[in-house]
Structure formats: C-alpha cells, structure tokens
Structure 1
Amino acid sequence: MAKLKSNDVTIDYNIYGKGSVNLLFVHGSYIDQTYWTEQVKYFENDYSIITLDLAGHGKSGRERKNWSIERFADDVVNLIKELDLKNVILVGHSLGSDVNLIAASKFPEPIIGFVIVDNFKNAATPLPAEFENQVDTILENLKKDFAGTNEQYARMALLTEKSSPEITNKIVAAYRNTYEPMGQATMPEVFELYKTEKRLLPDLNLKIYLVNVNYMPTNEQALKDHAPHGFELKEIDGTCHFPMLENPEILNESLSVVFQEILGDITNLD
C-alpha cells in the first residue's frame, strides 16, 4: 500500500508485478480498488499493475471540500506523473472510464490503450426525455434519503433480479455506506457525463476497447458516431454491472485479448 497527496486528499494506491506496460485500473462509483483483485492476480506476472481508491472511496481521504469527477481525473493524472508511468493502458469500470477519458485528455502522452468495462453503452447520448423526470426524482430523493435512494438506484440500474444474493448484498452495502458529501456532489454530474463524452471522445487519439455485460445492450451506433478512431466491443454474459465479481475468469480472458491487440498495434515501447 502506498499513498499520494493530490488535491487536498491522500490517495491510496497499490503496485503489483513488473513489466514495461502499466495497466492502471480505475474503479467505478462508490466501490474501491479491491474489486480488481482477480484482475491483479491474473495479470501481475506479465504486466505492472496499478490500482487506486478514488478520493472519498475505500482507504483514500475524504477531506476534499470541492468534489467533482474532474478532480478524480486530476488524481489519476497526478498518480501517473508521480510514478512517472510510461506505456499506460487505462482500464476503467463504469464511472472510472469517464474519469479515464478526462485524464487521457489532460495527459495523453503516456497513454497507449483505453479500455472500458461495462460503460459507454449510450456514449455521448443524452437520456431519453421520458427518463428526465426520473433523474430529477432521484436527485431530489438523494437529498432526503441518501442511503435508501442509492440502494434503489443500484437495484434498478446496476443489478437485476437474477444477480446473485452475494453480489447484490455487496453492492447495496457499498452504495448505502458511501461517503455522502462526495456522493451528493458527484451524482448530478454522473447524469450529465454524456456531455463530457461528446466533447472529449472526438479528440481521443486511441481506439476504444469495450468489455460490456449483455444484461443491458450497448448502442454501437453511438460509438460509431463519436469514436473517430474506432472501437471494438466484446460482450460477455452476466446479470449485472460488475463482471469482475460475477464472471472474473471471462472478464480476464477478454481483457487479455484486448491488451494483446493493443500491444500488437505498437511497434516500439519505451
């Protein structure tokens, strides 16, 4: 375990393995770096792996006064700079992929690969009008009952009736127990991230690799419209938003193929 001071808080991170290629795994909302445990075990013999807890998550600090998703991205950039990382493949789950998109736009030089785990299913696309009232209701309910509204959101959007009790209980607990000041500040931004994607995706000078779970379909047309350097989608079976918990072996196999494809397109590594 190591620590980095970034934007007023301490960021907890870990480094595993050794290699000329650095896999930087960034978790999603309200969870932490331990969700990548099976990926660390699988890849640490071939790559250098870095995981971190985003500010306000896991063992990282909570002292930040002004919370934002962009600050999360700044923390990722600061970690890359602190460790002087080269040949970085960014792997982001859920919100972590948007964090990585912002980070890659701010500091593109060391980034050689951009991988998404179960996100960008409607990239750069606003929610349909019929769901706007639901968003307003969620945000209002968060102010009244933060833990209960988070649980309802997780059950509605991230889990299904077919999700195992073990995974359901783990995710519900994480969402109920998240740090409220951080969550209240960042959740409204989550529903507006399509604007960030629309603005930044055209400038991402990398092919996008997605490993998405088929419990919810991926809008490939949106990716065709907004990813000028192309994309490759690998869909895996599952009942929820957390393949690292539900199908870690299949996720690892899919990621392994993705990493090999990324490196196959690169002739020289520093």
Structure 2
Amino acid sequence: MNKLLIAIICFLAACNNAADEKQPPPLAKLIVENNGVNIDFTESGSGDTTLLFIHGWNINKEYWDAQIDFFSNNYRVVAIDLPGFGKSGKNRGKWSVEEFGNDVQSVKKALNLKNVVLIGHSMSGAIIVETAIAHPEQIIAVVGIDNFQFVGYNWTAKDSADFKTIYKELETNYRVSVKEMAEKNLFSPSTDSAIKNRVIKDFVTADSALAVKALRACDTYPLDQRLTSLNKTLYLVNSNFRQTDTTGLIKLKIPFSLHEVGPTGHYPMIENAALFNAQLQEVLKEIRKLPQPPFSAH
C-alpha cells in the first residue's frame, strides 16, 4: 500500500480516536417506576408543552413513532409502554384503570413534565380521564384517539351476556379468540394487510392473563360517571369508519371537539399517519386558544 495513503489512514484514525476521547459518556436513561414496576418510555424534542402518548390494548409505544418524529420538532414528546405491555414490567398483582393512571403520574412526576397534553388510544381513553382527574397537576388537555364512541350507551342484558361469552373465550382459548376479535372489529376495508398482521401479531403474543385483566379493568371502569368530573374539553381524533355517537356526550354535558381522519380502522395513527398528524395538529391549535398556563409550540 502507498506509504502516503497509510499515513493518511493513520492520521484520520488518530483524529477519530481523539474525537471519541473528548465525547462525554452517554447519559444513563432515567428509570421510572410505580411501586417497583418499571415503566419504559421514549423522549424526544423540546418545548414548553409536553405531548404524552399512551398506547391502547395489547400494543406498545412504537405505534406512535410517526407522531414522535413529526411533533418532536415543536414539542417535548414522551411515549410510554404501560405496565404489562411492551418493555415495561409485569410484576403487579392489581390491574386497574386507577393504577394505570398512577403509572402515568409516575412518568409525569419523574420526568418533571410541564403543560401536559394526555393523548390516549383505545382503552387509554379511560386512563387519561382517570389521570387528569386524580393527578391534574400540569395537565392542560386530554385527547382521545379512536375512543369515546359510545358514551352514555345503555348496555342491555344481551350485551352483558355477550361480554361474558367473550371473556370466557379469551380465558380458555386466548390466541384464537383474540385473533378473531381483531379481524372482526379493528380493521376497515382500507386497512393495509401489513398493519393487520402487525396488530394481530402483537395481540396473539401478548401475555394473555394480563391482557384479559387489563381489558376487564377498562370495561368495568365507570367512564361515564368519571367524565362528568373531568372539567375539561374532551378532544377526539377518531376514524369515521364507525361513526362516533356524540349523543351521550351531549346528554352528559361533556364539552367535546371531534376531529375525524376518514374511514381507517382502529389505528389511524399508523394507517394514515399524515392525515392523523394534521388532525392532531388542529387539536393542538384549539388547545392553545384555551385560557391555560403558558402553552405554545417551541
């Protein structure tokens, strides 16, 4: 090899080594726990407002990747794995909406989050309501994602019987039952097959015992009653494949603002991320107009 080339390579290597030596060691990631249960999270961006994303049943924080990339240019963005899901701990005896709310509070407190907009998908609609009521400090708004479609609905005896059947099937033959449930209820004709496969894989590989307990906790949570104590506008970004029935919200005098993202399935944040982000951006514009503590994009 040419001596000059060797000298150049050695020089560049030396420069790289020197640069590496000057780099500070990476900061250790903060560990967040609630009563000994680890809560995994990602954090990016900066700003005087925090968007705190909470996933739905049987999925994880990675479903928010497109939102993290988009909104971290202007906001502090945090996404968490709820205990029992993703990379968070499972060492818990009690699974309830209230305890999930305590998990969110633990993240909020540990990361010292300010001017927080809680954004909850699916079952986490109940969790963000509970968190905002039980731990209102620094929470300026709540945003539901494809949820709150049937507030105020009077469940019939047949509905109750159907629920019992569903839970029995989940408890006795989880993988088959949860796959059928997903295929029948969570997708629209426009849902891409790759997204269907992703969701179904996450569903069938979830911890079945914990998944059923978490679902039952949300189903038995007195959501309508708790909504009347929220004292905040309920912002919704929903698919219109199945129309959101706002009758109950109106009857209960819950202030709300509904934004629709077209006929996606139950996962608009990954099925049509561009339109979803645009609608969520409109929601944030509405929130900034409210008489709140300082709220502005960075």
Following superposition, the deviation at residue 154 of structure 1 comes to 1.3
Question: Residues 128-143 of structure 1: matches in 2 within 5 Å?
Answer: 128-143=156-171
Residue identity in the other structure for 1:105: I
CA distance in 2, matches of 1:126, 1:76: 30
Q: In the alignment, is the contact (CA less than 8 A) between 2:152 and 2:247 conserved in 1?
A: no
Q: In the alignment, is the contact (CA less than 8 A) between 1:24 and 1:91 conserved in 2?
A: yes
Which of 208, 225, 229 matches 1:199? Answer: 225
Which of 211, 214, 239 matches 1:186? Answer: 214
Following superposition, the deviation at residue 94 of structure 1 comes to 0.6
Question: Residues 206-225 of structure 1: matches in 2 within 5 Å?
Answer: 206-225=232-251
Residue equivalent to 1:103: 131
Residue equivalent to 2:7: none
Following superposition, the deviation at residue 267 of structure 1 comes to 5.7
Residue equivalent to 1:54: 82
Following superposition, the deviation at residue 268 of structure 1 comes to 4.1
Residue equivalent to 2:271: 246
Structure 1: any 5+ residue segments left out of the alignment? none
More displaced 10-residue stretch of structure 1: 219-228 or 127-136: 127-136
Partner SS for 1:203: coil
CA distance in 2, matches of 1:146, 1:30: 12
Following superposition, the deviation at residue 86 of structure 1 comes to 1.7
Following superposition, the deviation at residue 37 of structure 1 comes to 0.4
Q: Compared with structure 1, are the counterparts of its residues 148 and 192 closer, same or farther at alpha carbon in structure 2 (3 Å cutoff)?
A: same
Q: In the alignment, is the contact (CA less than 8 A) between 2:96 and 2:218 conserved in 1?
A: no
Residue equivalent to 2:24: none
Matched, 1:263 2:280: no
CA distance in 2, matches of 1:128, 1:161: 29
Following superposition, the deviation at residue 126 of structure 1 comes to 4.1
Q: Higher strand share goes to which structure?
A: 1
Following superposition, the deviation at residue 2 of structure 1 comes to 4.4
Q: In the alignment, is the contact (CA less than 8 A) between 2:105 and 2:131 conserved in 1?
A: yes
Q: Compared with structure 1, are the counterparts of its residues 65 and 192 closer, same or farther at alpha carbon in structure 2 (3 Å cutoff)?
A: closer
Residue identity in the other structure for 1:174: D
User: Over residues 152-202 of structure 1, what are the superposed CA-to-partner deviations in whole Å (9 max), with x where a residue is unaligned?
Assistant: 111222124542211111111111111122113222233333xx2122111
Runs of 4+ in 1 over 6 A off after TM superposition: none
Which of 78, 90, 114 matches 1:86? Answer: 114
Q: In the alignment, is the contact (CA less than 8 A) between 2:190 and 2:263 conserved in 1?
A: no
Q: Compared with structure 1, are the counterparts of its residues 126 and 84 closer, same or farther at alpha carbon in structure 2 (3 Å cutoff)?
A: farther
Q: In the alignment, is the contact (CA less than 8 A) between 1:23 and 1:89 conserved in 2?
A: yes
CA distance in 2, matches of 1:159, 1:7: 36
Following superposition, the deviation at residue 245 of structure 1 comes to 1.2
CA distance in 2, matches of 1:70, 1:223: 22
Residue identity in the other structure for 1:14: T
CA distance in 1, matches of 2:179, 2:118: 29
More displaced 10-residue stretch of structure 1: 165-174 or 154-163: 154-163
Q: In the alignment, is the contact (CA less than 8 A) between 1:21 and 1:47 conserved in 2?
A: yes
Matched, 1:20 2:74: no
CA distance in 2, matches of 1:232, 1:97: 15
CA distance in 1, matches of 2:188, 2:71: 29
Q: In the alignment, is the contact (CA less than 8 A) between 1:124 and 1:197 conserved in 2?
A: no
Question: How many residues were matched structurally?
Answer: 267
| Superposition TM-score, scaled by structure 1 size | 0.93
| Superposition TM-score, scaled by structure 2 size | 0.85
Percent sequence identity is: 31
* Alpha-carbon RMSD: 1.7
CA distance in 1, matches of 2:192, 2:198: 10
Question: Residues 23-172 of structure 1: matches in 2 within 5 Å?
Answer: 23-172=51-200
Residue identity in the other structure for 1:207: T
CA distance in 1, matches of 2:105, 2:292: 25
Q: In the alignment, is the contact (CA less than 8 A) between 1:12 and 1:53 conserved in 2?
A: yes
Q: In the alignment, is the contact (CA less than 8 A) between 1:208 and 1:227 conserved in 2?
A: no
Following superposition, the deviation at residue 128 of structure 1 comes to 4.1
